[in-house]
Structure 1
Amino acid sequence: MSKKSDTEGMIASAIPTVDVFSILANPVRRQILADSRKRALSATEISQSFKNLKRPAVSEHLQSLRRAGLLREEHWGAIGSIILIRGRLLSSIIGPSGRTGRR
């Protein structure tokens, strides 16, 4: 193994693995990502767009997306906004080597 491969292996083992495909299988999460592409949204705004879901359910979806590294939350005083991490979705699916699937 080359030094680069050793380093990539150490980094990969240090990063918690999240099954991005399982997260994206949920239509609510896909809609949250689509909505947050346009602009930063508050958790309240996101909750209001899902009339059939209670806020705790939406919060769980947001937490899953944050754990996967697809969204982040920023606070400006008392105001918090949910922001899509651009490019993270593609790199989560493809991986750091630019390959899909198993080696």
Structure 2
Amino acid sequence: MFFFLSKLLQFLIKPITWVLLLLVYAWLGKRPLRKRRALTAAIALLFLFSNQMVFNLAVRAWEPDLLTAGEITEPYDIGILLGGFSNPNIEPGADRFNVND
């Protein structure tokens, strides 16, 4: 039962599901005003969730500011070194992984 509910919730939480349901309602609905509102909401949601600029603005607002090694003044006893990513371009700022920049 938990597996079924988790898959159902996973399906319902996706924005494309909302857009498709609104488009189906706009196509099959009976009242013209509600059909137009559903179509407008579907287009607005599709624009909001598929726009890369909106995504980048939201991610940049969510992430904390980056610190360079020279800006760290407090000594720490332990350091964590993450691996698995390397960049062949050795230039200033190459130690950062930037999505869509």
Q: TM-score normalized by structure 2?
A: 0.25
**Structure label with greater radius of gyration:** 2
Higher helix share: 2
Q: TM-score normalized by structure 1?
A: 0.25
Q: Which has the higher contact order (CA 8 A, sep 6+)?
A: 1
